[in-house]
Amino acid sequence: MGLLAAGSVAGVALTTDLAGPAARAAAAPTARQPADGVVALGKAYLKTHPGEADLELLLRRLPGVDATRDLRTQLPALSGAISKDFRVGRLVTVQGWQLSRTEARAAAAVALGA
């Protein structure tokens, strides 16, 4: 997830720095373009996997996550599970990105309010 976030931030930074005011306006969040990439990614995952649109189910499927704590602060702890997903081919495609099942589920849980 860190690579995805870093790539998105770099893309927006390059767009706004190199292309001027028109690009800055296009890159700015609007009502139709959410500012939170994790939430947007989670919603996109849930559109293609509606059977997982259950916060409790998602939290149970995220290894080592404490459901009583804020999920965003626990995302770095999922790095081992994310790496394992990539090693064993447990991947999903969301908006053209290849994500581990764990990171897609984590984004979905955040989108559902975790």
Condensed to tens digits (0 to 9), the pLDDT of residues 10-44 reads 333 323 344 444 444 444 555 554 458 999 999 99
Q: Which residue has the tokens 């028109």?
A: 22
Which pLDDT tens digit goes with each residue over 73-113?
999 999 999 999 999 999 999 999 999 999 999 999 999 99
Which pTM does this prediction carry?
0.70
Give 63's Cβ-side CA count (13 Å radius): 12
C-alpha pair distances (Å), 72 with each of 41, 42, 67, 84: 14, 13, 11, 20
